[in-house]
């Protein structure tokens, strides 16, 4: 068991390192931070001074090594724009983002899972088809389109809700709905197919043949099996809590991590962008670890393979 987790953790660290490296390379190759922050008309001396200050005059591999070494010491660098520590800047934005993504996650689970189960149990009925048409629509429409439509209808035409910004609970409603709809649709489709797969298994027929009432068969025999694949996709959604709202935050000018990312990328504020990417990677990797652990808990076949025997 220890070996199993040690390897998983090692793999997780490697993944994070790869993400950071990738981010470093892409950002350094795509433009000159000095120029984008100082502006095109800055004097060559000022540019040189800026480069020296931020270490941009050193060879790329040195910058990379310094950057990596700093991260291992918990030092994420300073924002080139604001000057403050990048980590503080990012962490300060997280609560605002979670105010959107956590309720949106609850909405996805509360709507997606029951809808998927219900559709599977009423396969090929009008209800099933209605759920699926809604789900396909909900997941094909991009969130920025949905967000803009919601703003147009509810905020501009009816003026029930604010178009964006912060300040009250009402400001939360549109972004949360925009975030939740797509995920609920994905989850509904996924849960439906997982349930259909399970309901077609021989052990479901066995349970019925034993005289177990259908409701108890679904609850006791089908759901625990359908939960296993569903955990993966829910884990992905949890991993996305920090960074899953980039588009929606932009649409609703919400001061969260996503908004910070967009602004920082545009300004080539390297430290901030790298810090966000690192956090996102850590969140993803952590949620993957949790999924692995839950798998072992939900599926005894894996639990055994991980600990001792297996075939």
Partner 1 sequence: MANLAGTTPASALTAARSSQPLLTIEGLTVDFSGVQVIRGIDLTVARGESIGIVGESGSGKSVTWLAALGLLPRTATVSGSIRLDGEELRGAAAMRLDRIRGRRVAMIFQDPSSALNPVIRIGRQVGEVLARHQGLSGSSIRAEAKRLFELVGLPDAERRFDAYPHELSGGQNQRVMIATALAGKPDVLVADEPTTALDATIQAQILDLLTTIRRETGMALVLISHDLGVVSETCERIMVMYGGLVVETAPSESIFASPRHPYTQGLLAALPPFEGALRQLVPIEGQVPEPENMPPGCPFAPRCPQRMAVCEVTIPRLAQTEAGGFSACIAGPATEAQKPLSLKTSVLA
Partner 2 sequence: MTAGILDLQGISRSYSTRQGLFGKKVPVHAVDEVSLSLKEGQTLALVGESGSGKSTTGRIALGLERPNSGYVLFRGTELPATDTPAWRRMRAQMQMIYQDPLAALDRRLSIIDQVREPLDIHDIGSASKRNNKALAMLDAVGLNASHATSLPYQLSGGQRQRAVLARALIMQPALLVCDEPVSALDVSIQAQVVNVLMDLQKELRLSLLFISHDLKVVRQVSQSMAVMYLGRIVEFGETHLLLSNPTHPYTKALVSAVPVAGRRTRERIILKGEPPNPAARPTGCAFHPRCAIARPECVSVCPTFSTLPDGRSVACHAVHTNPPTKEVGS
Interface residues with partner 2 (CB under 8 A) are 3-4, 7, 304-311
Contact 47, 34 (CB under 8 A): yes
Binding segment for partner 1 (CB under 8 A), chosen from 5-13, 170-178, 271-279, 301-309, is 301-309
Contact 284, 16 (CB under 8 A): no
Select from partner 2, partner 1, none the partner in contact with residue 299, using the beta carbon and a kind-dependent cut-off of 5 to 8 Å: partner 1
Pick one of 44, 59, 167, 300: the residue that binds partner 1 (CB under 8 A): 300
CB-nearer residue toward partner 1: 75 or 299? 299
Select from partner 2, partner 1, none the partner in contact with residue 301, using the beta carbon and a kind-dependent cut-off of 5 to 8 Å: partner 1
CB-nearer residue toward partner 2: 167 or 310? 310
Pick one of 97, 178, 225, 259: the residue that binds partner 1 (CB under 8 A): 225
Helix residue spans in the chain (DSSP H): 2-30, 33-38, 44-54, 60-72, 86-121, 126-140, 143-150, 170-199, 202-209, 214-217, 223-239, 246-251, 257-267, 270-298, 300-307
Select from partner 2, partner 1, none the partner in contact with residue 205, using the beta carbon and a kind-dependent cut-off of 5 to 8 Å: partner 1
Pick one of 141, 232, 299, 306: the residue that binds partner 1 (CB under 8 A): 299
Q: Which residues of 153-173 are buried (b: 16+ CB within 10 A; e: fewer)?
A: ebbeeeeebbbbeeeeeebbb
Instruction: Compute the distance between CA of residue 222 and CA of residue 13 in angstroms, rounded to an integer.
Output: 36
Contact 275, 243 (CB under 8 A): no
Q: Tokens at residue 160, please? A: 């029930």
Beta bridge partners of 78: 85
Select from partner 2, partner 1, none the partner in contact with residue 224, using the beta carbon and a kind-dependent cut-off of 5 to 8 Å: partner 1
Segment 194-223, which members bind partner 1 (CB under 8 A)?
A: 201-203, 205-214, 220-221
- Smallest gap from Cβ 206 to partner 1, in A, equals 5
Q: Is 228 in the site for partner 1 (CB under 8 A)?
A: yes
Q: Compute how many other C-beta atoms are within 10 angstroms of the C-beta atom of residue 199.
A: 18
- Smallest gap from Cβ 207 to partner 1, in A, equals 7
- Smallest gap from Cβ 158 to partner 2, in A, equals 56
Select from partner 2, partner 1, none the partner in contact with residue 71, using the beta carbon and a kind-dependent cut-off of 5 to 8 Å: none
Instruction: Compute the distance between CA of residue 146 and CA of residue 152 in angstroms, rounded to an integer.
Output: 10
Q: Compute how many other C-beta atoms are within 10 angstroms of the C-beta atom of residue 309.
A: 6
CB-nearer residue toward partner 1: 265 or 303? 303
Which positions lie near partner 1, rule CB under 8 A? Answer: 201-203, 205-214, 220-221, 224-225, 228, 298-301, 304, 309
């Amino acid at each position: 068991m220890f070996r199993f987790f040690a390897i998983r953790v090692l793999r997780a660290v490697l993944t994070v390192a790869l993400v950071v490296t990738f981010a470093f390379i892409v950002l350094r190759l795509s433009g000159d931070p000095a120029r984008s922050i100082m502006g095109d008309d800055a004097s060559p001396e000022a540019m040189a001074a800026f480069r020296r200050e931020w270490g941009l005059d050193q060879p790329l591999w040195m910058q990379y090594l310094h950057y990596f070494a700093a991260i291992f010491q918990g030092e994420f660098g300073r924002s080139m724009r604001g000057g403050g520590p990048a980590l503080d800047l990012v962490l300060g934005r997280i609560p605002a983002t979670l105010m959107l993504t956590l309720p949106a996650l609850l909405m996805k689970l509360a709507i997606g899972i029951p809808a998927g189960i219900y559709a599977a149990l009423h396969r090929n009925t009008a209800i099933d088809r209605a759920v699926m048409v809604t789900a396909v629509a909900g997941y094909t429409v991009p969130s920025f389109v949905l967000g803009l439509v919601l703003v147009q209808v509810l905020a501009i035409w009816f003026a029930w809700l604010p178009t964006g910004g912060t300040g009250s609970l009402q400001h939360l409603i549109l972004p949360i709905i925009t975030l939740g709809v797509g995920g609920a649709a994905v989850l509904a489709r996924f849960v439906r197919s997982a349930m259909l797969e399970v309901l077609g298994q021989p052990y479901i027929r066995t349970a019925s043949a034993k005289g177990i009432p259908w409701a108890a068969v679904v609850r006791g025999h089908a759901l625990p099996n359908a939960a296993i694949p569903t955990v993966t996709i829910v884990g992905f959604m949890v991993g996305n809590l920090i960074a899953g709202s980039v588009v929606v935050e932009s649409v609703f000018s919400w001061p969260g991590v996503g908004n910070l990312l967009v602004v920082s990328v545009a300004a080539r504020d390297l430290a901030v962008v790298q810090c966000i990417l690192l956090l996102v990677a850590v969140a993803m990797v952590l949620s993957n670890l949790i999924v692995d652990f839950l798998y072992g808990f939900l599926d005894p076949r894996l639990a055994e393979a991980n600990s001792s025997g297996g075939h």
